[in-house]
């Protein structure tokens, strides 16, 4: 069990420390290629808009819908092999990106890579959710710290590899994922807690009938809509302002600022009421997105990325810790999986709406519309999280 001294940083068990380090390496490998993916499809492979959208949507839907099944399986049989399989599938998917040129092959590779994301995250967040409840805020803040470290380093490595050939970056990501799968195969994640395993159907029933989880899902939907803009509206708009290479700068700023902020604010984040954090983060999202409508130029947009990253770094671990705190023992992976599966619907909408707004509407209309989604999050959190009772506040 994890022992937490309120005045000190928790001391994580060895398996949790290894998993946190793996999260950083995994995200570095992820961000080595994500900034280059759409650019490579459009500029090098000459994919049309429909083909590009099909590849991205196949990856997104598999990555966010399948965790419901993967999480339930991890709750029943344990996370070890689910994590290992997920990393291996991601490696094979990126290996395919480096080897094939056809649309059908790329859609197939996107399905494989997205299925890998589903297995990996279903297993990882199940392990995190099974840690003691009083440590959830600190654990998910530490997880966010490692993810941001990877997001800061990955685009730089990928950009350097892409100077030679973008396929080199895809190959490097594949090697990292497959190597991590070999490491995961030899590790035993979750050994620091005693597992209470539930049958798959029982876990699914527990998750789908939990009123507190559904309230949290509704509150999370605006964020699931806004988050894909990091991969769609942000790089497209930056490209309009300063050319295609501006996209990489977005991800570097996002990673560096996120890492710096979580290092400075991690202890504060664990002490503030999560419902209040959610409301204020959504308010920040509404204001920052709307501000882009009035401020033009790449320097202002990068300043917006700084503000957005602060919102992201507050909201992501807060929503994750609330999800983990709601889940009964033995159903943690299923709770995260249901959250991800429903969020995929909102995320898919965000992907298409964000790209349509950037291509077809003015900047003022685009960023005010996205700001209004943040405002919807404020209202949802006020109505559904700030209610009497411990379950109503999702904590």
Tokens standing for residue 116: 């890998």
Positive or negative: CA dihedral 241, 281, 357, 244: positive
Contact between residue 350 and residue 225 where contact means Cβ atoms under 8 Å apart: yes
* Mean pLDDT, residues 213-238 taken together: 91
Q: What pLDDT is attached to residue 195?
A: 52
What is the pLDDT confidence band of residue 1, given thresholds at 50, 70 and 90? very low
Question: Per-residue pLDDT tens for 114-133?
Answer: 999 888 888 888 788 878 87
Distance separating alpha carbons of residues 334 and 341, to the nearest angstrom = 10
Q: Which residue has the higher pLDDT, 268 or 90?
A: 90
Q: Tell the burial category of 209 from Cβ atoms under 10 Å away from its Cβ (0-12, 13-18, 19+).
A: exposed
Question: Per-residue pLDDT tens for 148-172?
Answer: 888 888 877 877 776 677 888 899 8
Secondary structure letter of residue 230 according to DSSP: G
Lowest mean pLDDT among 9-13, 241-245, 295-299, 356-360: 9-13
What CATH number labels 14-384?
A: 1.20.1250.20
Q: What pLDDT is attached to residue 391?
A: 43
DSSP3 helix / strand / coil % (the chain, rounded to 5): 80, 0, 20
Residue 360: pLDDT over 70: yes
Contact between residue 133 and residue 4 where contact means Cβ atoms under 8 Å apart: no
* Mean pLDDT, residues 339-353 taken together: 85
* Mean pLDDT, residues 232-240 taken together: 84
Residue 300: pLDDT over 80: yes
Residue 63: pLDDT over 90: no
What is the pLDDT confidence band of residue 310, given thresholds at 50, 70 and 90? very high
> Would you state the torsion angle of the CA atoms of residues 255, 257, 259, 262, taken in this order, to the nearest 10 degrees?
-140
pTM above 0.85, yes or no: no
* Mean pLDDT, residues 172-185 taken together: 91
Residue 196: pLDDT over 90: no
Lowest mean pLDDT among 30-44, 229-243, 310-324, 365-379: 30-44
Mean pLDDT for all residues in the chain: 83
Report percent pLDDT > 70 for the chain. 88
- Find the radius of gyration of the CA atoms of the chain: 20
Tokens standing for residue 114: 């997205």
Lowest mean pLDDT among 60-64, 146-150, 199-203, 263-267: 199-203
Residue 8: pLDDT over 70: no
Q: What pLDDT is attached to residue 389?
A: 40
Between the ranges 2-11, 98-107, 200-209, 283-292, where is the mean pLDDT highest?
283-292
Written as one string, the DSSP assignment of 112-143 is: HHHHHHHHHHHHHHHHHHTS-GGGHHHHHHHH
Instruction: Single out the residue of 137, 134, 147, 132 nearest to residue 266, CA to CA.
Output: 137
Residue 2: pLDDT over 70: no
Tokens standing for residue 185: 């195969």
Q: Which residue has the higher pLDDT, 129 or 9?
A: 129
Lowest mean pLDDT among 85-89, 129-133, 158-162, 358-362: 158-162
Between the ranges 17-31, 127-141, 277-291, 352-366, where is the mean pLDDT highest?
277-291
* Mean pLDDT, residues 210-231 taken together: 93
Residue 7: pLDDT over 50: no
* Mean pLDDT, residues 90-95 taken together: 94
Q: Which residue has the higher pLDDT, 210 or 47?
A: 210
Contact between residue 304 and residue 295 where contact means Cβ atoms under 8 Å apart: yes
Residue 276: pLDDT over 60: yes
Q: Which residue has the higher pLDDT, 80 or 163?
A: 80
Question: Per-residue pLDDT tens for 197-214?
Answer: 566 677 778 888 899 999
């Amino acid at each position: 069990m994890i022992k937490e001294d309120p005045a000190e940083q928790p001391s994580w068990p060895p398996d949790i420390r290894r998993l946190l380090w793996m999260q950083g390496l995994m995200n570095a490998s992820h961000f080595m290629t994500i900034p280059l993916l759409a650019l490579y499809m459009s500029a090098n492979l000459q994919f049309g808009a429909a083909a590009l959208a099909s590849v991205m949507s196949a990856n997104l839907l598999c990555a966010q819908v399948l965790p419901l099944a993967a999480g339930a399986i991890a709750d029943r049989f344990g996370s070890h092999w689910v994590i290992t399989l997920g990393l291996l599938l991601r490696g094979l998917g990126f290996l395919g990106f480096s080897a094939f040129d056809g649309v059908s092959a790329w859609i197939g590779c996107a399905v494989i890579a997205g299925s890998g994301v589903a297995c990996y995250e279903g297993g990882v967040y199940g392990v995190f959710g099974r840690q003691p409840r009083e440590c959830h805020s600190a654990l998910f803040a530490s997880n966010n710290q490692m993810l941001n470290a990877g997001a800061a380093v990955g685009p730089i490595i990928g950009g350097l590899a892409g100077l030679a050939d973008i396929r080199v970056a895809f190959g490097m990501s594949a090697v990292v994922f497959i190597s991590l799968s070999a490491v995961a195969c030899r590790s035993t994640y979750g050994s620091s807690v005693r597992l209470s395993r539930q049958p798959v159907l029982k876990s699914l029933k527990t998750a789908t009938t939990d009123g507190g989880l559904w309230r949290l899902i509704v509150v999370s939907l605006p964020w699931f809509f806004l988050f894909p803009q990091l991969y769609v509206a942000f790089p497209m708009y930056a490209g309009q302002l300063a050319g295609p290479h501006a996209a990489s700068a977005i991800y570097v700023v996002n990673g560096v600022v996120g890492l710096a902020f979580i290092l400075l604010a991690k202890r504060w984040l664990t002490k503030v009421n999560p419902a209040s954090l959610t409301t204020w983060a959504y308010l920040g999202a509404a204001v920052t997105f709307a501000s882009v409508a009035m401020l033009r130029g790449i320097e202002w947009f990068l300043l917006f990325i700084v503000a957005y990253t602060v919102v992201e770094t507050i909201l992501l671990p807060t929503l994750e810790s609330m999800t983990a705190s709601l889940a009964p023992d033995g159903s943690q992976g299923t709770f995260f999986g249901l959250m991800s599966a429903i969020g995929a619907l909102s995320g898919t909408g965000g992907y298409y709406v964000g790209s349509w707004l950037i291509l077809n509407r003015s900047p003022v209309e685009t960023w005010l519309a996205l700001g209004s989604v943040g405002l919807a999050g404020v209202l949802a959190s006020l109505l559904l999280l700030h209610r009497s009772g411990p379950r109503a506040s999702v904590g």
